[in-house]
Each structure stands twice: as structure tokens, then as C-alpha cells.
């Protein structure tokens, strides 16, 4: 992946597949999906331009990811086939490790985006979820599109994936997590240990 594109992932926190299961929209509306991403963006923009230290920004990134993302769904999708054979305890530990990994991985890049911002441009239903399109504005870069996929499958309005200029963030993370699992010969506990220090 080009380095400039990988840097852009930080704006979407955490955060972060076409491989995700279909999620029914239930009672979620277009305006509710858009309002959720408005709140996500407000928080991201505030952190980017807060002037806080990197360590504080990472904690804020994790808070945003925890508050607005369907972390269990994202984590399970990133783990892939191995999630089927993992125990409930392993899945819980993996989810927590994955949350911290995402915060560290993308939070460390916040400083590169001081002065940047995201703006919601529109939302629409797509099959069983909602798609909310935003535009990212970075200093020294042309504007580019960031799309959030939103559902209320878990009983709350949450985003479960993002696409940056068409690049699927969760699919990318699933590939990286899969490679880490392969290096650990399929051992989920060893993967969790690696994730706790990765990012």
C-alpha cells in the first residue's frame, strides 16, 4: 500500500472488511447513520487539532474506536476463520488486544494530520446497512473520500467498516492479522500476545 494512503487511515480511526458479515439495518435511518458519523468526525477533528501529546492522542483514538465502532464485529472479522474455533475467552482477549493495537497503530500518526479535517457529504441505505460518505481534507494533499459503513446490528448505531478511496480498511487489517497468525502457526494466544505489543 502506498505510504501516503496508509497515512490516511489514521483519519478513519480505528479503525479498522468487505469480508464482514451482512448487518441488517433494522430501525436505523439515513439521518441517524449520518448523525453518528457527524459525532465521529467531530471527535476525530478535535483530537487531531488538540495539540495533545502522542500518548494522549492514542488514548483518545481508542476512546473514539470504543464509542463509535462495533469493535467485537470488527475484531472477529479481522481474525477471520480462526474466530470460529477460538473460545469465548480467547475472542474477548483478542478483541481487547485488537482495540489497543488499532489505537497504537493509527494513533501514532495523528501528528501528521494537524490542521486536517473530515466533512460528511451524504448518506444512503445500501442493502442491509448504511453508507456515509465523507471528504477528508489534509494539508498538502488533494481532498479524498472516506466512506463509513453503519449498522445497528448490535443494538446501537455503530460503524463496522471504512473505505478510504475505495480501499477497504478492515480487509487490510484482516490480511495483516492473518499474516501475524500464520507467523504464530495458528496459535491465537500467541497472536494476542503479539498484538499487545504491536502497532
Residues in the chain: 199
pTM of the model: 0.80
Q: Which residue(s) pair with 146 in the sheet?
A: 134, 164
Residue 151 has pLDDT above 50, yes or no: yes
Judge contact between 85 and 181, C-beta under 8 A.
no
Q: What is the Cα–Cα distance from 59 to 65, expressed in whole angstroms?
A: 10
Does the domain made of 3-197 have the CATH classification 3.10.450.710? Answer: yes
Domain range summary for the chain, segments of one domain joined by +:
3-197
User: Does the structure show a pLDDT above 50 at 23?
Assistant: no
Write out pLDDT tens, residues 75-84.
999 999 999 9
- Sign, CA torsion 168/172/177/178: positive
State the Cα–Cα distance between residues 118 and 155, nearest whole angstrom: 26
Amino acid at each position: 500500500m502506498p505510504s501516503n494512503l496508509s497515512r490516511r487511515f489514521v483519519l478513519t480511526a480505528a479503525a479498522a472488511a468487505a469480508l464482514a458479515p451482512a448487518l441488517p439495518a433494522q430501525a436505523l435511518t439515513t439521518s441517524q447513520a449520518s448523525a453518528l458519523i457527524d459525532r465521529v468526525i467531530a471527535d476525530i477533528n478535535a483530537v487531531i487539532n488538540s495539540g495533545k501529546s502522542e500518548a494522549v492522542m492514542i488514548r483518545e483514538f481508542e476512546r473514539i474506536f470504543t464509542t463509535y465502532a462495533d469493535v467485537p464485529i470488527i475484531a472477529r472479522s479481522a481474525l477471520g476463520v480462526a474466530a470460529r474455533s477460538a473460545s469465548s475467552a480467547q475472542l474477548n482477549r483478542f478483541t481487547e488486544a485488537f482495540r489497543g493495537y488499532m489505537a497504537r497503530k493509527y494513533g501514532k500518526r495523528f501528528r501528521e494530520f494537524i490542521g486536517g479535517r473530515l466533512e460528511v457529504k451524504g448518506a444512503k441505505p445500501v442493502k442491509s446497512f448504511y453508507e456515509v460518505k465523507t471528504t477528508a481534507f489534509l494539508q498538502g494533499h488533494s481532498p479524498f473520500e472516506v466512506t463509513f459503513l453503519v449498522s445497528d446490528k448490535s443494538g446501537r448505531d455503530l460503524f463496522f467498516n471504512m473505505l478510504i478511496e475505495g480501499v477497504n480498511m478492515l480487509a487490510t487489517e484482516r490480511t495483516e492479522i492473518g499474516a501475524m497468525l500464520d507467523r504464530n502457526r495458528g496459535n491465537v494466544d500467541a497472536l494476542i500476545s503479539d498484538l499487545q505489543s504491536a502497532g
